[in-house]
Amino acid sequence: MAYEVIARKWRPQIFDEVVGQEAITRTLRNAVEQERLHHAYLFTGARGVGKTTTARILAKALNCRTGVTVTPCGVCASCTEIAAGGSLDVIEIDAASHTGVDNIRDVVINSVGIAPARDRYKVFIVDEVHQLSGAAFNALLKTLEEPPSRVVFVLATTELHKVPDTIASRCQLFEFKTIPLTKIQAKLGEIATSMKVDITPAALAAVARAGEGSMRDAQSALDQVIAFSGERIDMPDVATALGIVGDETLYDAIDAISTSDAPAALRQAAKLAEAGHDLRSFTRSLMRTVRNLLVTRAIGYDPELVDAAEADAERVVDLASRFTEAELVRLFSLLTALEQDIRHSADPRFQLEIGLVRMAELPRLRPLDEIIDRLTKLEARLTGESGAVAPSAPARPVASPPPVAPRAAPPAPKRAPAATAPRGAAAPAIPSPAPPRSVADEGPPEPPPFFDDEPPSDFEPAPPRSPSPPRTRSAAKSTAPTAPPVATEPLDGDAAVREIRARLEAQNKMMLLTAFDAATSVAVDGGRLVLSFDAVTAVHGRTAELSKALIESIARDVVGRTVRLAVVVGAADASTAAGAAPSAATQAALEDPAVQGLLEAFQGQLIRVDPPEGESET
């Protein structure tokens, strides 16, 4: 006996066996049971979803020898002839090869008035009806609208938009949906079990996915894989037999993108090209994977919505957690454009490589709400700080170090107006063509340039140079909710550093907190707060120096004594400054009230302690 392919052998014979079209089969069952038959039906949908099969089942239900029934026997002459396509009263027409008006006149119009030869109803099944010519449609109109009482038309098409409205309006329309992956997979599993074929769940899911919503295509794919592998089928067999990319390869590509591993992405592209895979098909499969990740990221892993094998659930959840929804949407958009580029490219491999590297190198997105919140806080902080400075002040004082030398005498009167700045003055950030001004005109020196001549958001005026304790802040500052708390007891070491950071955070000094985070080490060393930076993070040291007065004031409140800020740049200096413990003489000098008064009055820094003659510094 000749081999019968799976798609024909397992073709549904009753309404209950039709998979994925429950709404349509229920409507037709009720119409048969209640004798509410329409004279013309129009079935539309993708290929292989059951349009022609359902038309044949309807014909058997009307003509079965047991009577009009929703469960035809399948063994009588009428049922077997209809199933085989050889019944005299059930006429199937392939409109793709019978497109002309003469074909419709000979097969339909001239025979529609003849009573059924044996069965109750004469059924005309016109497949791919959209391919009929305009004249053929016009010839069919009147017959389709008013056929004899024992005639039923079933028109089937995959392209509904090509069917004239005059034809569609005379029919009951049934739209066949693509079949869900889970239902195709369950049906294929049933078939494999019946055929005693051992197939792994991952391989079964891959075969079902190859059908792309078509049961017939999925069954044909299973037939092909069985012919290749025999009775034992695994995922590599499916990938080889069908020429598809395995899920593991897709997950590895997403993993490379999530870790910004461009070399791994390039190796994936080379591996696919060397294996001869269709790179456009791989891109579409990658789009499906990104869509699965987006669904999982949005609502969690749902087998009904995520088009993936159950065995891969943990991998899908892990990959989804590495992206935000916005990033996955952006990846999907890039893959959509990449698929089109590969389609029109002379060398698809190059397009795939560039696309994968571009996705791997994409910067991560930050939520818009977070950015708006940070901008709002920055605006509020700048507004508050600008209001704390007295409006009558002639110029803004500058914290030190680094000191800015006062301007010297005015330049020579014969000097070119815009050549250079006055000698000893701080250089402006942007050269100005204006003539130099005198010291009396300019007032106190301006601060050094910082990011387009704008002071940092954490800038604070320096306190007066006086040995007495710092003056109380203005009322606006002292009543602000972000004022630093008063220390209950002095702290030292790491505890002092943590408390200083907490005070800065309470005052919303984000740039200073960034400087503390960027420092290679932060330590309270006797009477100094040492911030060490390397060459890369030296700019953050500049930020700390510009707010030296504020940092020293907070450190004095925390430690309980005068503390000087020391910013050290360079690995060697940092280790010397932060790593070497102060000597006993240095510690004693720092704790001496007279020395503290001098350091406070002149804003000085203790560099060295020379012991008296005959004594050694211990």
Residue boundaries of the structural domains of the chain:
6-176, 181-242, 247-360
Instruction: Answer whether residue 413 shows pLDDT above 50.
Output: no
Instruction: Answer whether residue 455 shows pLDDT above 60.
Output: no
Highest-pLDDT range among 17-21, 377-381, 451-455: 17-21
Span 484-498, average pLDDT:
64
Span 524-540, average pLDDT:
78
Helices (H), 275-431: 279-299, 313-320, 325-344, 348-360, 368-388
Q: What is the predicted pLDDT for the residue at 26?
A: 94
Highest-pLDDT range among 112-121, 166-175, 526-535, 545-554: 166-175
Residue in the block written with tokens 């002839």: 81
Torsion of CA 401, 402, 406, 407, to 10 degrees: -160
Choice among 103-117, 254-268, 389-403 with the minimum mean pLDDT = 389-403
Span 8-30, average pLDDT:
93
Q: For 130, which DSSP code?
A: G
Confidence class for position 518, pLDDT limits 50, 70, 90: confident
Instruction: Answer whether residue 533 shows pLDDT above 90.
Output: no
CA-nearest of 505, 502, 554 to 529 is: 554
Span 522-534, average pLDDT:
81
Terminal-to-terminal C-alpha distance of the chain: 107
Angle at 67 between CA 63 and CA 73, to 5 degrees: 75
Span 61-65, average pLDDT:
93
Instruction: Answer whether residue 395 shows pLDDT above 60.
Output: no
Q: What is the predicted pLDDT for the residue at 403?
A: 43
Instruction: Answer whether residue 536 shows pLDDT above 80.
Output: no
Instruction: Answer whether residue 484 shows pLDDT above 50.
Output: no
Helix axes 584-591, 593-602, angle to 10 degrees: 70
Q: What is the predicted pLDDT for the residue at 515?
A: 81
Check whether the bond before 402 is cis (ω within 30° of 0).
yes
The whole-angstrom distance between residue 362's C-alpha and the CA centroid of its chain comes to 11
Span 480-500, average pLDDT:
62
Span 87-97, average pLDDT:
91
Highest-pLDDT range among 78-87, 471-480, 552-561: 78-87
Q: What is the predicted pLDDT for the residue at 423?
A: 42
Name which residue leads in pLDDT, 416 or 557: 557
Q: What is the predicted pLDDT for the residue at 278?
A: 86
Question: Cα–Cα distance between 512 and 501 in angstroms, integer?
Answer: 9
pTM given for the model? 0.56
Confidence class for position 606, pLDDT limits 50, 70, 90: low
Choice among 9-13, 18-22, 302-306, 599-603 with the minimum mean pLDDT = 599-603
Q: What is the predicted pLDDT for the residue at 328?
A: 93
Q: What is the predicted pLDDT for the residue at 602?
A: 60
Q: What is the predicted pLDDT for the residue at 459?
A: 47
Span 147-160, average pLDDT:
93
Confidence class for position 307, pLDDT limits 50, 70, 90: confident
Q: What is the predicted pLDDT for the residue at 240?
A: 84
Beta bridge partners of 93: 126
What percent of the chain has pLDDT above 70?
74
CA 479 to each of CA 260, 482, 590: distance values in angstroms, whole numbers, following the listed order:
48, 8, 33
Q: What is the predicted pLDDT for the residue at 532?
A: 85
For 253-303, write each residue's pLDDT tens digit. 999 999 989 999 999 899 888 888 889 889 999 999 999 999 999 998 888
Beta bridge partners of 506: none
Mean pLDDT (the chain) is 78
Instruction: Answer whether residue 589 shows pLDDT above 90.
Output: no
Q: What is the predicted pLDDT for the residue at 538?
A: 76
What the block records as the tokens of 3 is 């081999």
Q: What is the predicted pLDDT for the residue at 393?
A: 42
What percent of the chain has pLDDT above 90?
36
Span 501-512, average pLDDT:
81
Torsion of CA 323, 329, 332, 334, to 10 degrees: -100
Q: What is the predicted pLDDT for the residue at 428?
A: 41
Instruction: Answer whether residue 391 shows pLDDT above 50.
Output: no
Span 441-449, average pLDDT:
46
For 28-61, write each residue's pLDDT tens digit. 999 999 989 999 999 999 999 999 999 999 999 9
Instruction: Answer whether residue 483 shows pLDDT above 60.
Output: no
SS3 (DSSP) at 132:
coil
CA-nearest of 482, 480, 456 to 382 is: 456
Span 9-27, average pLDDT:
93
Q: Which CATH class is domain 247-360?
A: mainly alpha
Contact assessment for residue 233 and residue 199, using Cβ atoms and an 8 Å cutoff: yes
Instruction: Answer whether residue 343 shows pLDDT above 50.
Output: yes
Instruction: Answer whether residue 16 shows pLDDT above 80.
Output: yes
Q: What is the predicted pLDDT for the residue at 540?
A: 77
Q: What is the predicted pLDDT for the residue at 286?
A: 93
Question: Cα–Cα distance between 453 and 440 in angstroms, integer?
Answer: 22
Confidence class for position 517, pLDDT limits 50, 70, 90: confident
For 170-184, write each residue's pLDDT tens digit. 999 999 999 988 899
Architecture of domain 6-176: 3-Layer(aba) Sandwich (3.40)
Q: What is the predicted pLDDT for the residue at 402?
A: 43
The correct CATH number of 181-242 out of 1.20.1250.20, 3.40.50.300, 1.10.8.60, 1.10.10.10 is 1.10.8.60
